[in-house]
Structure formats: structure tokens, C-alpha cells
């Protein structure tokens, strides 16, 4: 019924330890993980409010595709298919270096690894950069 779930803040690359209060499957609050070596029981204002974006009604629940100037909810299959075709077309026409990949501090090491692999091995470009340099 009531659980406390340890996790890592997804907002920036610092990676502070957090503890989620979950009551009946609903995320109630976020607490700093006191014994975490990175943040030692402290958080910034973003970390303290992680539950707000998880519960936000503004949160995107499915991919959006712009058709005739308006966004529409679409399935992941449709979104991926569409993106793959577009990318393919661009690469064929302008070459692989016309594509750049921005990785992120908000995702895991493994996901970042996969993204650079995608850029280098699938697309064929070294244009990989990171949101922290924006």
C-alpha cells in the first residue's frame, strides 16, 4: 500500500539520490536519499519536485506527429516508422553528415552509449553532441 522507492533524479547529470513516497500506486512526494554518496541528503528545487512532472496533466503520454500544422497523438510504431523514413530520405539526399544527434544528461549512460552508437554505426556520422554544452 505504502512504499518508499529509491531512485535517481532525472533532471541533470549530477544524479542525486531520491526517495519516492508511493501510496496506492500514486506518487505523493519526493525526498532526498540521506545516505546517497552524491547528494548526502540534499536536493535542488528540481529534485524536490520530481513528483510534480510525473503527475502533471501536461505530461506527454504518447508521441505526437505534426500533420497539416497540428499535433496528433500517434502510436510509437507510427512515430518510429515516420522518423525512420524521414531520416533515411535526408541521409540519401544530403549524406550522413547532414544529421546530428544530441544526447542528454537526463538519460542513463547506457542510453547515451546506444545513441552515439546509433549516430556512428547506423547513421554514419560523428555529429554527436550533448545538451550540457548548449
Partner 1 sequence: MKDKVRDWLETGKVDLFLGYKQVDGHPLPHAFSKENLAELGELIVSPARYALEKLATEILAIKPALKIGILGRDCNQRAVNVLTVHQQISPGQIQILEVNCCPSPLRKHAACSTLQPQTYGAVKLELGVDNNMSVAQMDQFDQESLYSRWMYEFQKCLKCYGCRDICPVCFCKECSLENNDLVATGGLPPEVPLFHLIRAVHMAGRCVDCGLCEEACPVDIPLRLLYRKVNGIVKDLFGYETGGSHEQPPFSLLGESTPPEAEPHSKAV
Q: Which residues bind partner 1 (CB under 8 A)?
A: 1-4, 6, 17, 19, 21, 23, 26-29, 31-36, 41-45, 48, 52-53, 55-58
Task: Strands of 24-121 (E only): list them.
Answer: 26-32, 64-67, 70-73, 101-103
- Of 10-18, 52-60, 110-118, 126-134, the segment contacting ligand SF4 by CB under 6 A is 10-18
Taking the least distance from each CB to ligand SF4, the nearer of 49 and 116 is 49
Alpha carbon distances (Å) from 126 to 35, 98, 122: 39, 11, 11
Q: Are 132 and 13 in contact (CB under 8 A)?
A: yes
Residue from 9, 33, 103, 123 that binds ligand SF4 (CB under 6 A)? 9
Is residue 108 a contact point for ligand SF4 (CB under 6 A)?
no
Is residue 11 a contact point for ligand SF4 (CB under 6 A)?
yes
- Can you say whether the dihedral through the CA atoms of 32, 47, 108, 76 is positive or negative? positive
What number of chain residues touch ligand SF4 (CB under 6 A)?
Answer: 11
Residue 126, number of CB atoms within 10 A of its CB:
12
Amino acid at each position: 500500500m505504502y512504499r518508499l522507492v529509491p531512485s535517481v533524479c532525472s533532471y541533470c547529470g549530477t544524479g542525486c539520490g531520491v526517495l519516492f513516497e508511493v501510496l496506492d500506486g500514486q506518487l505523493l512526494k519526493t525526498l532526498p536519499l540521506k545516505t546517497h554518496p552524491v547528494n548526502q541528503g540534499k536536493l535542488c528545487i528540481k529534485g524536490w519536485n520530481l513528483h510534480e512532472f510525473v503527475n502533471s496533466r501536461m505530461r506527454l503520454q504518447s508521441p505526437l506527429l505534426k500533420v497539416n500544422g497540428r499535433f496528433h497523438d500517434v502510436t510509437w510504431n507510427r512515430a518510429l516508422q515516420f522518423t525512420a523514413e524521414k531520416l533515411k530520405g535526408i541521409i540519401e539526399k544530403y549524406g550522413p553528415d547532414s544529421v546530428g544527434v544530441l544526447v542528454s544528461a537526463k538519460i542513463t549512460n547506457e542510453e547515451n552509449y546506444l545513441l552515439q552508437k546509433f549516430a556512428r554505426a547506423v547513421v554514419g556520422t560523428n555529429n554527436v553532441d550533448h545538451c550540457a554544452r548548449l
